[in-house]
Amino acid sequence: MAPRSQPTARQVRLGTELRRLREAAGLKAREVAGLLNSTSAQMSQVEAGNVGVSEERVRRLAAHYDCTDEALIDALVAMATDRTQGWWEEYRGVLPPVFQDTAEVEHHATFLREVVITYVPGLLQTADYARAVYAYVHPGLPESELIPRVEHRMMRRAVIEGGSPTPYETLIHECALRVRVSDRDVSRAQLQEILGQIEQGHATVRVIPIDQDGFGGAGISMMYAGGPVPQLDTGLRDAPTGVAFIDAEAQLKKLRTLFLTIQAASLDPNTSRDFIHRLTKEL
């Protein structure tokens, strides 16, 4: 099988998990290669996500690694055999790969949790709000690049608005709700959109008040996507080079703890809804 030119984050994650199982069994790649009539170099390609792997090979590897977690094995098989051509594929080659990777992670998530401080979360943004943000962050961006970015952001909302919506909870700082990325009308429409998503049951929203004592998380922005099994949870954090996809258990544990800490500093959903409603009235 020819190596992939650009594996997705999901394909890379499958390879990472297969490598972790091998390392947990105390085996070298060259020791396992013979099992698949392969070479250590080809095993490295598989574990890097550059080459696909069949269901039969995933199960053979798991058995060789003495992995008895059937739920994890089944989840890895599902990842290996997934041939989903999601809507995000339309943007491959049009937008940077991170756009497709983020949408794919959201699509396969069993639940989504998010913390945002400076902007309204992407899954709740209106087109006008998203356009204003992209235009500001990327000044001079031509329409040919701005339009697909906004379209992609709007398409992402299908994960919480579709026939089988993914449970979604977001913690939004008051600053993000008050900052006018465009004008008064866009801000009012954005707040009304959030209220509409709350009323339709698409999102659980908690507001972090600006006057909350003891809140030291002003520099934090993160998304936590639940996997089919806990071992396959994924964290997404903004990094200097773009979005970083986190899969190490120690780091995921920190993100889970961080979310609960910030959640405790936020208003409950009903009070948050009333809070946003009052902000809308102020505009």
- 82-111, pLDDT tens digit by residue? 888 899 999 999 999 999 999 999 999 999
| Single-letter code of the amino acid located at 56 | E
pLDDT in tens, 108-122: 999 999 999 999 999
Distance separating alpha carbons of residues 116 and 176, to the nearest angstrom: 8
Q: Alpha carbon of 170 to those of 113, 173, 209, 223, 259: distances in Å?
A: 6, 10, 14, 9, 10
Q: How many Cβ atoms are within 10 Å of 105's Cβ, its own excluded?
A: 23
Q: How confident is the model at residue 4 (pLDDT cuts 50, 70, 90)?
A: low
Q: Decide if pLDDT at 1 tops 60.
A: no
By DSSP bridging, strand 242-246 and strand 234-239 are: antiparallel
Compute the distance between CA of residue 81 and CA of residue 61 in angstroms, rounded to an integer.
15
pLDDT over 80 (residue 242) = no
Q: Distances from the Cα of 279 to the Cαs of 116, 187, 207, 259, in angstroms?
A: 18, 10, 12, 24
Average pLDDT score over residue span 43-67: 93
In percent, the amount of the chain with pLDDT more than 90 equals: 84
Residue range 256-274: average pLDDT? 96
Q: What is the CA radius of gyration of the chain?
A: 21
Residue 189 has pLDDT above 80, yes or no: yes
67-81, 189-203, 238-252, 262-276: the lowest-pLDDT one: 238-252
- pLDDT digits 0-9 by tens, 209-241: 999 888 888 888 999 999 999 999 999 998 766
User: Which of these, 98, 105, 79, 100, lies nearest to 88 by C-alpha position?
Assistant: 100
Cα angle 37-38-41, degrees, rounded to a multiple of 5:
170
Nearest to 194 by CA among 112, 123, 98, 116: 123
Summary mean pLDDT of the chain: 94
- Residue 150 and residue 2: Cα distance in Å, rounded? 34
CA distance 1 to 42: 10
pLDDT value at residue 241? 66
Q: Which domains does the chain have, with CATH numbers?
A: 9-81 (1.10.260.40), 96-282 (3.30.870)
CA 254 to chain centre: 16
pLDDT band at 193 (very low <50, low <70, confident <90, very high): very high
Write the CA distances from 148 to 9, 25, 131, 216, integer angstroms. 21, 45, 10, 36
Dump the DSSP string for 149-192: HHHHHHHHTHHHHSSSPPPEEEEEEHHHHH--SS-HHHHHHHHH
Tokens of 78: 């599902």
Indicate the residue type of 283: L
Let me know how long the chain is: 283
For residues 168 and 160, the answer to whether their CB atoms sit within 8 Å is: yes
In whole angstroms, give the CA distance from residue 195 to residue 189. 10
pLDDT category at 33 given cuts 50, 70, 90 is: confident
Question: In the prediction, which pLDDT does 214 show?
Answer: 85
pTM exceeds 0.85 for this model: yes
Strand 112-116 relative to strand 222-225: parallel, antiparallel, unpaired? Answer: antiparallel
